[in-house]
Amino acid sequence: MADTVLNSDLALERWQRDYYYSFVRESRLKRYSGTDESKPIQFIEDLEAGAGDKIHIGLVGELIGGGVVDSQTLEGAEENLTTYEDHITTHLYRHAVAVPKEQQRKTTVDLLDAGNTQLKSWAMKLLRDLELDVLACCNADGVTTYNGTLYTDDATARNAFLVANADRMLFGAAKSNASSGVFATALSTLDTSADKFTPTILTLALAMAKEISSTPGGQAIRPVKVGEDEDMYICLTGSRAFGDFKKSTEYQAAAKDAAERGPGNPLFHAGDLMWENCIIREVPEIQTMTNAGSVACQPFHLLGAQSVGVAWQSRPAAISDTRDFGRVKAVGIEMQMGVKKLTFNGKAHGQFSGFVACS
């Protein structure tokens, strides 16, 4: 089999650049992603790192002190800048499409264009699934996802994560549901009579997240800045929990009385919901699980700044291969990246995790 050959002409470079921006722009969580540290999903590029290197990211805390006024002495009243560090290990991801023999006279760019839709769809799904997997991760390493099955296998790791993140996890309608420090026990407290996703539960989660942010020396969940002075949080949840929230008596009353009347009212169309300073977004790919009482449950991910890190060691690059004496030609994409829930000392840096029962 011939070695893979990378074409470096200008047209190919342009295709690779457009492919990268296109699939990132069209991914489901694109609006919450960016390169600055105020985004829930922060992209970090380190194209100089070597194979297998860890890419480091600075985690930034908020200043919560009051400073000094007029002639008050500043010396001795300084506030320590709260900074942490996490790192992301990248991995090589590749996929390719086989090209029919009659198209083999076309250029590499033409062949890539022919498979562009499928390759882009694969890359978008890969990035989305990796992001959702690490959001669901209940392990101090921020990456272990138990083979894609939610909250299974390593009970010790889950319990340790719950204890370390007791101030940023909520099970149902009451803080006390997590008091056991045992993940499975906390999940088993959920039932459909009191613990379905409602504005009351979201308000409690928001209050807990904000309380963390105002604790001196605490590892704050910083809200996302919108414009110059508006602080927002982003809540991602599955379709069943999203439906429960939208159908709840509390939300229905608020939407009827406070939202605009007519077809623009969120009661009458699909799309994001708004509660307090939080955007609630339906993500159908978020999985459903069952607790010990056979109650269907879903997580909700309440995101502040720097919840997830996506490290790019190399952007998508075109690859091609010819085999069987030129009879079969394939073109594809490879990229080196890593995705991680950002943590420090076992604590989620920018994410608050909630769990609710589902209809």
- In the chain, where are the structural domains located? 1-63+81-359
Sign of CA dihedral 311, 282, 20, 112: positive
Sign of CA dihedral 161, 163, 164, 168: positive
Residues in the chain with pLDDT values less than 70: 1-28, 47-53, 58-65, 79-84, 99-117, 145-153, 213-219, 227-229, 258-270
Nearest to 62 by CA among 44, 32, 88, 37: 37
pLDDT of amino acid 6? 39
Give the pTM: 0.81
pLDDT of amino acid 69? 85
Which residues, 6 or more positions from 45, have their beta carbon under 8 angstroms from its beta carbon?
35, 311, 312, 315
CA 344 to chain centre: 17
Sheet holding 41-45, edge to edge: 33-34, 41-45, 308-323, 328-341, 91-99
CA distance 329 to 115: 13
CA distance 352 to 235: 9
Residue type, 168: R
Domain 1-63+81-359 sits in CATH 3.90.1690:
yes
pLDDT of amino acid 120? 74
Please name the helix (run of DSSP H) or strand (run of DSSP E) that holds residue 135, with its range, or none. Answer: helix 116-136
Residue type, 125: K
* Tokens read off for 81: 């800048």
